[in-house]
């Protein structure tokens, strides 16, 4: 009975905070569309009908705030706490699945994420500070490559960022005007351990991922591979239920290349404690002229003794388990002229691979209002490593250049008119396959739209989008040559009243999210070859 009363009291208190102090945040979009898709190929059969879409998000904050307890002079304690319950559809709810049964037709909110955000506690004293709660970040990722052109916000790009898991503290000093020089300064020492005195071991786990093996690739020791045999009606891969047997492991031989589901079983471990890591963060800035960010992180013990420390699992060669972990990164920035921004960044990991060599990547970016350009390089041990004509790992490069004008603001030419071009080059140094007319991996995106106000509340916006990339493969099996695939979309949106939009468009070609251009397939179904086109008209309401 006492437990029940205690739970009820907590619910009353939490409910009072959530609904009396903070207002839930609600965003939602719903639309009804009619469309016709003309399929792919000469003998395609058109498919048409209505589609209902709903995308909603409800955030219920239980408590969000900063608690400051200030004592004498410049000594204070900060306690930041934010707690949210977020309800959201995993994706736009649609009746595109078929058949659509009656009891599964209505929208149902599902718990998307429970968030404990901004949880930190720190002590500040005369410019110095000590983090009491909050995991120190034992990694650097300054030179992360750009996201792909079709990016929905969850893209993972190749990176040479190490990571050490664990909790600890950071002792530092920060000043916005160091000794009256105008120099911004923030430096901190980080200390962490791989567990506490209460730490327990981990159980054995099976981890899965899909890889695309090429002839000459090296297999993961102890891993089990299941080859992809095809694709089901929903476009999902089908893998063999029998483990693949390679002729000459650990090397992938001729005829053994392709996509595989890889299973790696981690071994159970005992309690992980008594091992420590340290790091240094340094940030300097002098007005707009120059900024410097630097970080270095290391373990005292070998990686295998510390536990989970090293590089991302998709990096070609991980940290040598028989060596200590050591990673560093730096970023230089400058804005010498209004609108001009320059950035040079590098990340490096020492003791990578069995030979304990260095994996690193570099990134340079320059932008001036409408124009942006950049270059990226990853060496032969980085996640962006390429292959030469003998299938040997080599350092590789990427480049980009873009021109963009927004509908308003500093980069606007004509009020309401927005347009731009984004051009990418990937794996510039890798050998280009011969015999199938493969070319340098590249992709381009171009767009234009113009929003014209008819009245104070009515507007119309015609728009056009174009995408193109090299090295696409025809759906016709008899055509083995690669070609330049394209996709496009033209349409117009009319808003008769606020929060109501009528949209109609014609598109040909289909895109894939988060795929790098010319290599991974930004265009999943090129126009004319694999898609005959789609026409859609619909009405959307926005809350």
What is the reported pLDDT for 431? Answer: 93
CB within 8 A of 106, min separation 6: which ones? none
For the chain, the structural domain boundaries read: 135-193+278-384, 205-266
Determine the pLDDT at residue 9. 38
pLDDT at 3: 40
Query: Which three-class secondary structure state does DSSP give residue 5?
Result: helix
Listed in sequence order, the DSSP H helices in 22-106 are: none
* Per-residue model confidence (pLDDT) at position 459: 97
pLDDT of residue 149: 92
**DSSP annotation string for 393-461:** EE-EEEEEEEEEE-SSSTT-SSTTEEEEEEEEE--SSSPPPSSS-----EEEEEEEEE-EESSSS-EEE
Share of the chain residues as helix, strand and coil, in percent rounded to the nearest 5: 5, 55, 40
Which residues of the chain, if any, have pLDDT below 50? Answer: 1-20, 90
pLDDT at 54: 82
What integer pLDDT is reported at residue 114 of this predicted model? Answer: 52
pLDDT of residue 283: 96
Instruction: List CB contacts of 542: < 8 A, sequence separation 6 or more.
Output: 28, 29, 499, 500, 501
Query: Could you give phi then psi for residue 180, rounded to 5 degrees?
Result: 75, 15
Residue 257 CA to residue 221 CA, distance in Å, equals 17
pLDDT of residue 98: 55
Backbone angles phi and psi of 257, in degrees to 5: -75, 165
Tokens (6 digits) for 145 = 């490559």
Statement: the pTM of the whole predicted model exceeds 0.85: no
pLDDT at 308: 66
């Amino acid at each position: 009975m006492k437990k029940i009363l205690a739970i009820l009291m907590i619910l009353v208190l939490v409910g009072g905070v959530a609904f009396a102090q903070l207002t839930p945040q609600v965003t939602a979009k719903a639309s009804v569309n009619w469309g016709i898709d003309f399929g792919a190929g000469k003998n395609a059969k058109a498919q048409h009908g209505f589609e209902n879409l709903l995308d909603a998000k409800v955030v219920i904050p239980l408590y969000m705030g900063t608690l400051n307890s200030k004592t004498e002079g410049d000594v204070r304690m900060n306690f930041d706490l934010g707690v949210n319950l977020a309800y959201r559809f995993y994706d736009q709810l649609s009746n595109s699945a078929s058949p659509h049964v009656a009891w599964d037709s209505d929208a149902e909110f599902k718990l998307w994420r429970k968030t404990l955000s901004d949880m930190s506690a720190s002590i500040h004293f005369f410019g110095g500070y000590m983090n009491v709660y909050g995991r120190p970040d034992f990694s650097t990722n300054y030179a992360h490559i750009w996201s792909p052109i079709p990016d929905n916000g969850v893209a993972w790009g190749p990176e040479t960022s190490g990571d050490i898991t664990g909790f600890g503290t950071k002792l530092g000093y920060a000043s916005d005007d160091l000794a009256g020089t105008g120099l911004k300064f923030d430096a901190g020492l980080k200390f962490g351990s791989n567990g506490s005195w209460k730490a327990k071991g981990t159980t054995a786990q099976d981890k899965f991922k899909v890889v695309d093996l090429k002839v000459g690739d090296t297999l993961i020791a102890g891993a089990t591979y299941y080859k992809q045999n095809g694709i089901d009606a929903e476009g999902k891969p089908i893998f063999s239920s029998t483990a693949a047997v390679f002729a000459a492991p650990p090397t992938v031989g001729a005829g053994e290349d392709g996509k595989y589901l890889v299973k790696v079983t981690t071994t159970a471990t005992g309690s992980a404690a008594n091992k420590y890591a340290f790091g240094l963060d340094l940030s300097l800035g002098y007005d707009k002229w120059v900024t410097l960010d630097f970080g270095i992180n290391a373990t005292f013990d070998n990686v295998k003794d510390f536990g989970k420390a090293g590089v991302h699992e998709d990096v070609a060669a991980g940290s040598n388990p028989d060596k200590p972990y050591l990673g560093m990164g730096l970023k230089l920035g400058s804005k010498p002229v209004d609108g001009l921004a320059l950035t040079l960044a590098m990340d490096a990991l020492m003791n990578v691979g069995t030979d304990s060599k260095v994996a690193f990547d570099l990134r340079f970016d320059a932008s001036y209002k409408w124009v942006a350009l950049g270059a990226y390089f990853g060496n032969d041990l980085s996640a962006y490593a390429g292959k030469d004509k003998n299938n040997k790992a080599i350092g590789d490069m990427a480049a980009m250049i873009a021109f963009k004008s927004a509908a308003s603001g500093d980069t606007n030419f004509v009020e309401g008119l927005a347009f731009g071009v984004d051009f990418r080059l990937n794996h510039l140094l890798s050998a280009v396959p011969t015999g199938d007319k493969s070319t340098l991996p590249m992709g381009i995106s171009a767009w234009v739209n113009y929003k014209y106000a008819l009245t104070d509340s009515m507007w119309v916006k015609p728009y056009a989008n174009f995408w193109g990339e090299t090295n696409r493969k025809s759906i016709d099996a008899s055509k083995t040559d690669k070609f330049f695939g394209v996709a496009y979309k033209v349409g117009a949106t009319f808003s008769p009243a606020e929060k109501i939009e009528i949209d109609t468009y014609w598109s040909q070609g289909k895109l894939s999210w988060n795929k790098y251009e010319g290599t991974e397939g930004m265009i999943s179904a090129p126009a004319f070859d694999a898609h005959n086109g789609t026409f859609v008209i619909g009405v959307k309401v926005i809350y």
